[in-house]
């Protein structure tokens, strides 16, 4: 079975001498329907967020402000995205291990998801994640 892969999504950017505006909307810029939006902010230096995967949840992550690294593992390899533009998003399909680290001061990570919150959807054990991924290979 072909598993979906993460990829970068460049969002619209409306340039204006009054400042820039970016946006995304259902069925046009992202490959899922948004059910929930949350954001991560005031992260103390050196802290790591995430370090889990989701069975069903897919996401778009954007560095609305500042910068951080998004480190993804698909069960075989790790790939790192350094996010520092408020018009660049990374689409993360279900069943990708992901962590966010190296947050700059005042960084703001916006996460849009295709599910409402469900703790049962989390895989918080990396070995369990690898085992589930390998079942699908
Ligand atoms: P968690 O997803 O583990 O944080 P991160 O992956 O960024 O390190 O969530 C932290 C806590 O917040 C956890 O107790 C679940 C809760 N939470 C909600 O109640 N609703 C939500 O939409 C999210 C994302 C988390």
Nearest CA, atom 23, ligand 1: 117
DSSP 37: E
Decide: 21 and 11 in contact? Cβ < 8 Å. Answer: no
Decide: 59 and 111 in contact? Cβ < 8 Å. Answer: yes
> Which pLDDT score, from 0 to 100, does residue 91 have?
98
User: Average pLDDT for residues 115-136, to the nearest whole number?
Assistant: 95
16 CA to centre of ligand 1 in angstroms: 36
Is the pTM for the entire model greater than 0.85? yes
User: Average pLDDT for residues 71-88, to the nearest whole number?
Assistant: 97
Per-residue confidence at 3, pLDDT binned at 50, 70, 90?
Answer: confident
Q: Is 52 a catalytic residue?
A: yes
38 CA to centre of ligand 1 in angstroms: 9
Nearest CA, atom 25, ligand 1: 117
> Which pLDDT score, from 0 to 100, does residue 135 have?
85
pLDDT tens by residue, 99-122: 999 999 999 999 999 999 999 999
Per-domain boundaries in the chain: 7-13+31-136
Mean pLDDT (the chain) is 96
79 CA to centre of ligand 1 in angstroms: 23
Looking at domain 7-13+31-136, does it have CATH number 2.160.10.10? no
Does residue 137 carry a pLDDT above 70?
no
Decide: 42 and 68 in contact? Cβ < 8 Å. Answer: no
């Amino acid at each position: 079975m072909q598993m979906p892969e993460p990829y970068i999504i460049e969002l619209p950017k409306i340039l204006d001498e009054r400042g820039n505006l970016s946006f995304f909307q259902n069925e046009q810029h992202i490959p899922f329907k948004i059910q929930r939006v949350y954001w991560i902010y005031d992260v103390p230096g050196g802290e790591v967020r995430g370090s889990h995967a989701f069975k069903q949840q897919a996401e778009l992550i954007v560095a609305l402000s500042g910068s951080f690294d998004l480190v993804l593992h698909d069960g075989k390899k790790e790939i790192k995205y350094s996010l520092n533009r408020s018009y660049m998003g990374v689409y993360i399909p279900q069943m990708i291990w992901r962590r966010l680290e190296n947050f700059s001061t005042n960084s703001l990570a916006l996460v849009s998801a295709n599910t409402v919150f469900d703790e049962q959807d989390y895989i918080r054990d990396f070995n369990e994640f690898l085992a589930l991924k390998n079942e699908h290979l």
